[in-house]
Amino acid sequence: MFMGIVLTGDRPTGKLHLGHYAGSLLSRIELQNEHDQYVMIADLQAMTDSNSDLIKNNILEVMKDYISVGLDPNKTTFLLQSAIPELTELTFHYMNLVTLGRLERNPTVKNEIRQKSYENSLPAGFLCYPVSQAADITAFQADLVPVGNDQIPMIEQTNEIVRKFSSSHGSGAIKEVKAILSKTQRLIGIDGQAKASKSLGNAIILSDSSEEIKRKVFDMYTDPNHIHVKDPGEVEGNVVFEYLDAFYGDKEHLEELKIHYKKGGLGDFALKKLLNQVLQDLIAPIREKRESLNDLDMKDILWKGTQKARVVASNTLSKVRKAIGIDFFNL
Ligand code: TRP
């Protein structure tokens, strides 16, 4: 079996939610058993559009989310981006390998510029964050990056940088990487909006209380034309079904429910009751584990992982410097 190096990351701008769980945490829990996995808390990347207090307050929260869902510090190396200055230097070198025009055409960046209304005042750091992401990925000699499809352009741009580097400075220092797409691509928000996100307030957070989960489930957007129980209903775009698809294990029963709903005679209340139970059962052990974790231990895990990861990044940076020809003092 192929044993590779896996790298992923999250911006620590809030606690993680069910969208993260379905989209990336689940696959990381599997990947850690077969691969050498690094999980990065991308606090520097988050600085391109958030403030440092918010970020600082969320680093250990995200660590708690990781550990409480079952990521294991003996199998996964956790690291804090800002504590590895080698990543920043790599970013600087790679900036010479991309054009402004290419960055402006990156679909992920384009999208986020629109979302954040940056059209007329775009911070250069924000525009360059794909370069920093290329640095993160190549620094650890990653083979695989599990991502949602919105991050595919990042991987493409990383590989372009690697190819440009190799043709300008020779190959061997850094390598190309492959994206692995997760099964659940992006979980929609409880309001039916395209994406569950903490900032939109439409996500179920992994540390939500039992009451909060229940409230959110019963608030979910279903089919606005499904007024009476006997009416036929839409399954497509119906948040309750989207979540059952992602989290309900009994697929056969789920298919029966869909047929019943489409025919008419199945009420939203009964469905929401089922989904509430499914999510309560999923989140209760995560919440329990989370409550047993303390800040000091989280900090210690992150510190140890960061030290280990820094050695790897530093090694890559030395190779990159040598390849580029920055070796005046032979450091
Ligand atoms: N851009 C990713 C996100 O917003 C976070 C991230 C930073 C990342 N560096 C990375 C993901 C490297 C994968 C690989 O979620």
Give per-residue pLDDT as tens, 178-234.
Answer: 999 877 667 889 998 877 777 778 999 999 999 999 999 999 999 988 889 999 999
Annotated domain spans of the chain: 5-188+295-330, 210-290
Ligand 1 centroid to 331 CA: how many Å?
30
Fold assignment, 5-188+295-330: Rossmann fold (3.40.50)
Distance CA 118, CA 102 (A): 17
Give per-residue pLDDT as tens, 20-64.
Answer: 999 889 999 999 999 999 999 999 999 877 789 999 999 999 999
Ligand 1 centroid to 329 CA: how many Å?
34
Ligand 1 centroid to 284 CA: how many Å?
28
Which ligand 1 atom sits closest to the C-alpha of 45? 7
Ligand 1 centroid to 10 CA: how many Å?
5
Average pLDDT score over residue span 106-130: 90
Which ligand 1 atom sits closest to the C-alpha of 42? 7
Tell whether domain 210-290 is in CATH 1.10.10.410: no
Residue list, ligand 1 pocket, CB within 6 Å: 7-11, 40, 42, 45, 133, 136-137, 145, 147
Q: How far is CA 151 from CA 107, 147, 210, 282, 303, in A?
A: 9, 6, 32, 27, 27
Give per-residue pLDDT as tens, 146-179.
Answer: 987 788 999 999 999 999 999 999 999 999 999 9
Regarding pTM above 0.95, the answer is no
Of 65, 78, 154, which is best to mutate to test ligand 1, by the most ligand atoms within 8 angstroms of its C-beta? 154
Distance CA 45, CA 35 (A): 25
Distance CA 145, CA 148 (A): 10
